[in-house]
Chains A and B, each alone.
Chain A
């Protein structure tokens, strides 16, 4: 887009003053937002305005702002990470919104992701799933010989397709059942593809699946909504892989 469009947006933002507050939507109008801004920059403008008015800024999570850290958890107009597929909220630009559009912003909603404040949720449940088995054991020290462990290109690529998960939690947020199956499946599938993951293969899938259950995530009904909102496009085949790994671990 060559022109430098300025638009007005009406925001409906979820405000919640801590985990036990009931929370509510608050309306804000922002004028002269350039369409080249990212969604988070637009929220920065909102917060600057709020601070000028001596009001409490909206808490939202962000870090890298380049689509790799997975912290920008925003449900935008009812879709985690907003309307553009394969795009984290920080990579979404205001050109995807119309002049005078009303934009609703809600936090991830799941029992396993309690709200800390406003739009920020606690995703430690994912870390505990990882601690349960999302690791490999190996000798540390000097770097190993580059080609000591042969892995075919096909397997390496396929492992990489699962390894790109940024742990954002959009899969949980979008799932009608709040299932964490895509995240957990991606981690399990990635390690199942690689020889480094072999020693703990069976233990890993059982432990991670059980931890996912303990955290209070819901069941998977194969709705596939997770794949549609995943900013890196992890395929639902990750979930299928987790299930075959689980069956193999039973024997």
Chain B
């Protein structure tokens, strides 16, 4: 009999899990982007730094959130890889000639490269955390906290990083890949989680594309702006 514990055992269960984890990852991206956009407050990064201090001060709550994110990424990636590996098992002898019918088909560059875009995102996330959280590639900087004492100058760190053209370009490229992942991903999550009305289906695909584009542009505008502006506002 089916239960929550064997959701991983059927294609329907697995898809519900990719959908749910995908949606939570999108919500994380939205929150992350909202935090990042405080860089544009025009205060040399103070609001952004204070936001980082606020997150750090959450203490155990932050750890729980971080653990949650690791589980989300892990489960999402695990199922994605499993689905990909299942292809060969379900069709041991492939077609010699195969093409898409087009029309309502959503077999696009985006949908066919979900695993690749996903893997690059995963690699990026690891490097990104090492970069800005663990200061692997740059020394930490400090700045005065308006509330007294000092705080980590994360904004300065970000500014320095993105003045480097290669880092700016690399981040921009990955943000475009996230957009590509979500171009199929957002719509796919709607279908995985039960968009039952046939009339809504094409609308959701368009909505998904818009959400994907907004997120990608929202994120990549930061490195691009800092680079071309020669620094923060």
Contacts and interface: CB of A to CB of B under 8 A. Distances in A.
A198 interface: no
B96 to A, nearest CB: 7
Contacts, number: 161
A237 B201 contact: yes
Given A111-B89, A176-B107, A176-B112, A217 B11 contact: yes
A179 interface: yes
B101 A246 contact: no
Given A179-B90, A218-B86, A109 B95 contact: yes
A222 B101 contact: no
Interface in A237-251: 237, 239-244, 246-247, 249-250
B98 A241 contact: no
Given A75-B95, A104-B97, A223-B106, A179 B11 contact: yes
A243 B15 contact: yes
Interface in B77-92: 82-83, 86-87, 89-92
Nearest to A80: B101
Given A104-B96, A237-B196, A241-B194, A220 B15 contact: yes
A47 interface: no
A240 B111 contact: no
B3 interface: yes
Given A78-B98, A79-B99, A104-B96, A243 B91 contact: no
Contacts of A78: 95, 97-99
Contacts of B107: 176, 223-225
Interface in A7-46: 23, 25
Interface stretch (A53-61, A129-137, A206-214): A206-214
Contact of A206 (B1, B86, B99): B1
Contacts of A109: 91, 93-95
A189 B92 CA distance: 30
A120 interface: no
Given A218-B89, A221-B188, A249-B2, A243 B95 contact: no
Nearest to A249: B2
Interface string A218-238: 111111110111000001110
Contact of A229 (B10, B82, B93, B101): B101
Nearest to A103: B97
Contacts of B103: 85, 228
A196 interface: no
A111 B94 CA distance: 10
B81 to A, nearest CB: 11
B99 A228 contact: no
Contacts of A242: 12
B196 A244 contact: yes
B106 A106 contact: no
A191 interface: no
A223 B2 contact: no
Given A77-B97, A228-B100, A111 B92 contact: yes
B105 interface: yes
A200 interface: no
Contacts of A176: 87, 107, 112
B83 A221 contact: yes
B104 A106 contact: no
Contact of B99 (A77, A209, A210, A243): A77
A2 to B, nearest CB: 29
B104 A216 contact: no
Contacts of B105: 223-225, 227-228
* Residue with the highest number of chain A CB atoms closer than 10 Å, among B15, B99, B102: B15
Given A110-B91, A213-B10, A219 B15 contact: yes
A224 B90 contact: no
Given A216-B89, A217-B11, A225 B101 contact: yes
B114 A221 contact: yes
Contacts of A111: 89-92
Interface string B1-40: 1111000011111111000000000000000000000000
A109 B91 CA distance: 6
9 contacts: A109-B94, A111-B89, A177-B83, A209-B10, A218-B87, A218-B89, A228-B105, A236-B104, A243-B15
Interface of A: 23, 25, 75, 77-79, 83, 85, 104, 106, 109-112, 161, 174, 176-179, 181, 189, 206, 209-210, 212-213, 216-225, 227-229, 235-237, 239-244, 246-247, 249-250
